[in-house]
Structure 1
Amino acid sequence: MSEIAAETNAARPRRRLVWLVACPLAVGALAAATVVAIPDRDHGNAAPAAPTLSASSAPATPTPTPSASPTPSASPTSSASPAPGPADPASLLAHAAKAVASSPDPGARADQFVYRREVQDGARETKHERTSWFPVDGRSGGLILDPTMGNGRSPWPARLSEIPGAPRTASFEALTYEYVASLPTDPQQLLQQLLSFDRAKRVSGMPMTPKLSNQFAFADVQMIFQNIAAPPAVAGALMEAAAKIPGTAVVADEADAAGRHGVAVVGTNGTMRVALIFDKTTGAFLGVREVLLSDLPPAGPDGLPPAGNPSLGAGDGKGYEYASAILTSTIVDKLEAEPAN
């Protein structure tokens, strides 16, 4: 398969590019995609509490210091100990999806921004903290503050533009928070919309097979959770829809870059096994964990690599190639504005 083309250099430092299918890294599998701004490496001493979803206006609690020692410790509110209630993966995910769907909706306006503060660990970068502002309507530029990118400041180009040849209408090809907010809140309807969307133009010189189409759909879900964010009701539906995409599975326990544990929807994106991790109690999106397929045992009967135990040395001995941890995700009024405490 052709390598994925980066939609914009600003979205990502020296890290792998993400298929426009939401995934962040990527090497050789989908053609033409957007870059998911992803992170770096090094865990902080204290694992932050479950992040405030984009649906909330309050920042997530404690923040780990990026330069701190990479010893993951469990957050008091994110499943270091098993969450009460259902224990099987599917039930855990359903419980988490229901919890996040019932969260207050921030009612984001078109002129506002999605604010994100996160820890990134891996991809040949030292662990660090990254802050970003993405426009809700996608028609203005955003900003990323990341010490691994140039002078530490990188503009995020507008997703929608009047420039000839650029997308003018939001879709899975040009994702915006405003578009995501318009998606169905019924998981089955949302699944059908994900699977039926025509992504053929992302592929160059090869057929769009059902398997490839499914991976693009999963990558779009990853893009939404990792960079765009979603209102609560849509987030809950996306979690359940993602678990029904052919080629994905639900895993009861995965850890993010801050050592917080949650239930995960796992799929493949190019050469990577990708886990989208959610808090078992609140359903908050915690982060992503990616492992090179070559570092994992052979795929199981379902075609997915085993849930855990990557080979020794994967991700420089960390057991992953890249991981992130969302510390705060909320809506703010202006570019570079910080959420109120």
Structure 2
Amino acid sequence: MLPAGRQRFLKEHLMSEIAADTNAARPRRRRVWLVAAPLAVGALAAVTVVAVPDRDHGDATPAAPTLSASPAPAPTDAADLLARAAKAAASSPDPGARAAQFVYRKEIQDGARETRHERRSWFPVDGRSGGLILDPTMGNGRSPWPARLSDTVPGAPRTASFDAPTYEFVASLPSEPQQLLQQLLSFDRAKRVSGMTMTPKLYNQFAFADVQMIFQNIAAPPAVAGALMEAAAKIPGTAVVADETDAAGRHGVAVVGTNGTMRVALIFDRTTGAFLGVREVLLSDLPAAGSDGLPPAGNPSPGAGDGKGYEYATAILTSTVVDKLEAEPAN
């Protein structure tokens, strides 16, 4: 079982490489989502990827963006907006997650050929117990994801890393953006693929996908979250956009990159730096890339029906730490 976000990214890259080699048309893909809807529906041949989640202390302490939409931004330098948001994120209260706790998320998901729906998830802070996703679009509505780190289960990861991230692992990352960028770019991701050359472009896309995985599925303590925002904006092939909209209609500053056949925007509240959600748009539905190498934002309407506009978007409604699996945070 592969996290679907990773499966989608790797599968799309593999398909594009095959298409380039054979000059054949790329087959229409079956979309499976995890960085949105975790739990792949199949194994991807030639790819070995495992993911896990989160970290360390405290009671249920909400660290979520509010539901009220931010006003559209006045014309402002996008990089300055992101820098201010990152500083605010880094100075936010630390939930102090403990090893035996879980990071709880409640979010809206829209698109990806599914109806708009709510998803709740519990990701173990230390990775030593299994997590859980409650999502009406997945099987019977319950998915035991991610698999736990293990010293005894054959094939299970034994230590956390970018290949098997947990909140504890994320908390151990540098809180200085340049150091964190170097760690993101230097991590050996070659074992994720087989029979493919790991080009610099692919390394960069993997690094961006790992940042997406952390923000969308795992969360990060404040100091690391702020550093991740700035480091993501320095990954080659990414850009900062002053105004993107999440699935709840909230405006924020975004770090934008490409992931296979998708334009991916990681959206942050411009005042607090809180992660609002992700918005993904099919590159085929957008005009050609601009001078920054990235296509424009595109139509903000959902793409579940005809593939136009955004193909998939989320909005994080609650992100906090709880003591037990399936525990709900206190209001």
Q: TM-score higher than 0.5 here?
A: yes
SS in 1 for 2:118: strand
Is the alpha carbon distance of 1:30 and 1:197 closer, same or farther for their aligned partners in structure 2, counting shifts above 3 Å? Answer: farther
Q: CA deviation at 1:58?
A: 2.5
Match of 2:2 among 1, 7, 14: 7
* CA–CA distance in structure 2, aligned partners of residues 139 and 240 of structure 1: 30
Deviations 1:24-53 (Å, cap 9, x if unpaired)?
A: 76741169xx9734159xxxxxxxxxxxxx
Match of 1:130 among 110, 119, 123: 119
Match of 1:271 among 261, 264, 284: 261
Q: CA deviation at 1:235?
A: 0.3
Is the alpha carbon distance of 1:155 and 1:323 closer, same or farther for their aligned partners in structure 2, counting shifts above 3 Å? Answer: same
Match of 1:155 among 144, 148, 163: 144
SS in 2 for 1:324: strand
Is the alpha carbon distance of 1:221 and 1:159 closer, same or farther for their aligned partners in structure 2, counting shifts above 3 Å? Answer: farther
Match of 2:198 among 205, 208, 215: 208
Q: Which amino acid aligns with 2:181?
A: L
Q: Which amino acid aligns with 1:180?
A: V
SS in 2 for 1:212: helix
Is the alpha carbon distance of 1:95 and 1:166 closer, same or farther for their aligned partners in structure 2, counting shifts above 3 Å? Answer: same
Aligned match of 1:171: 161
Q: Which amino acid aligns with 1:28?
A: E
* CA–CA distance in structure 2, aligned partners of residues 95 and 106 of structure 1: 21
Match of 2:5 among 18, 33, 39: 18
Q: Is the Cα–Cα contact under 8 Å of residues 26 and 271 in structure 1 kept in the other structure? A: no
Aligned match of 2:71: 80
SS in 2 for 1:19: helix
Match of 1:29 among 10, 13, 21: 13
Is the alpha carbon distance of 1:286 and 1:195 closer, same or farther for their aligned partners in structure 2, counting shifts above 3 Å? Answer: same
Match of 1:104 among 93, 113, 125: 93
* CA–CA distance in structure 2, aligned partners of residues 267 and 292 of structure 1: 12
Q: Which amino acid aligns with 1:232?
A: P
1:89-100 to structure 2, matched below 5 A, reads 89-100=78-89
Q: CA deviation at 1:157?
A: 3.5
Alignment of 1:182 with 2:172, yes or no, is yes
* CA–CA distance in structure 1, aligned partners of residues 247 and 144 of structure 2: 25
Q: Is the Cα–Cα contact under 8 Å of residues 262 and 280 in structure 1 kept in the other structure? A: yes
Alignment of 1:117 with 2:102, yes or no, is no
Deviations 1:236-282 (Å, cap 9, x if unpaired)?
A: 00000000000000000000001001000000111110000000000
Is the alpha carbon distance of 1:30 and 1:172 closer, same or farther for their aligned partners in structure 2, counting shifts above 3 Å? Answer: farther
Q: Is the Cα–Cα contact under 8 Å of residues 123 and 131 in structure 2 kept in the other structure? A: yes
1:40-59 to structure 2, matched below 5 A, reads 57-58=61-62
More helix by share: 2
Where does structure 1 lack aligned partners over 5 or more consecutive residues? 1-5, 9-16, 41-53, 63-74
Aligned match of 2:318: 328
Q: Is the Cα–Cα contact under 8 Å of residues 303 and 312 in structure 2 kept in the other structure? A: no
TM-score by length of 1: 0.80
Q: Which amino acid aligns with 2:6?
A: W
1:219-298 to structure 2, matched below 5 A, reads 219-298=209-288
* CA–CA distance in structure 1, aligned partners of residues 108 and 180 of structure 2: 30
Deviations 1:171-213 (Å, cap 9, x if unpaired)?
A: 1010000000000000000000000001011122110000000
Q: Which amino acid aligns with 1:289?
A: R
Q: Is the Cα–Cα contact under 8 Å of residues 297 and 311 in structure 1 kept in the other structure? A: no
Match of 2:294 among 304, 309, 320: 304
Is the alpha carbon distance of 1:129 and 1:311 closer, same or farther for their aligned partners in structure 2, counting shifts above 3 Å? Answer: closer
* CA–CA distance in structure 2, aligned partners of residues 313 and 261 of structure 1: 16
Where does structure 2 lack aligned partners over 5 or more consecutive residues? 16-31, 39-56
Q: Is the Cα–Cα contact under 8 Å of residues 137 and 176 in structure 1 kept in the other structure? A: yes
Deviations 1:281-338 (Å, cap 9, x if unpaired)?
A: 00000000000111111112332112x2249985536620000000000000110111
- How many correspondences in the alignment? 294
SS in 1 for 2:212: helix
TM-score by length of 2: 0.82
Aligned match of 2:54: none
Q: CA deviation at 1:164?
A: 2.3
Q: CA deviation at 1:165?
A: 2.6
Q: CA deviation at 1:222?
A: 0.1
Q: CA deviation at 1:232?
A: 0.5
- What's the RMSD between the two structures over aligned residues? 2.6
* CA–CA distance in structure 2, aligned partners of residues 323 and 39 of structure 1: 11
